[in-house]
Amino acid sequence: MNNEFKTVSLDTMIDKHIGNRGTKKREAFENELRIDLLGDAIKKARKELNLTQEQLGKLVGVQKAQISKIENSLKNARFDTILKVFEALGAKVNFNVEMNDKELAF
């Protein structure tokens, strides 16, 4: 019996189980990952400043529960609230917009 495992790249596994780049399912998957990374960045910055979710919420003008939702899932968060959170954290936010593999400058 051969117990050797074949090593494959993460991209290969995602292509196989989610879909190839450019497909709707793959785009949705990658967008969701980016949103999760944004929530993680907020949480990391908050902790770096030794703020509780409640303290950050007071700085932003929202409840602790809203900060928790933002950190854990930005799907239902308002964009202006997210920007207020970063502003309260003293964080600089940059956005890149790409269309047809070309970055649009702002």
Check pLDDT > 70 for residue 99: no
The separation between CA 76 and the C-alpha centre of its own chain, rounded to angstroms, equals 13
pTM here is 0.60
In three-state secondary structure terms, 97 is: strand
The CATH number assigned to the domain with range 10-104 reads 1.10.260.40
How far is 51 from 89, CA to CA, in rounded Å? 9
pLDDT band at 47 (very low <50, low <70, confident <90, very high): very high
pLDDT band at 60 (very low <50, low <70, confident <90, very high): very high
All structural domains of the chain with their residue ranges: 10-104
Check pLDDT > 70 for residue 64: yes
In three-state secondary structure terms, 99 is: strand
Check pLDDT > 90 for residue 28: no
User: In a 10 Å sphere around its CB, with 0-12 CB exposed, 13-18 middle and 19+ buried, how is residue 77 labelled?
Assistant: buried
Which pLDDT value is given to residue 9? 78
| Alpha helical stretches, state H, the chain | 10-17, 24-48, 53-60, 64-72, 79-88
Cβ–Cβ under 8 Å, residues 80 and 70: no
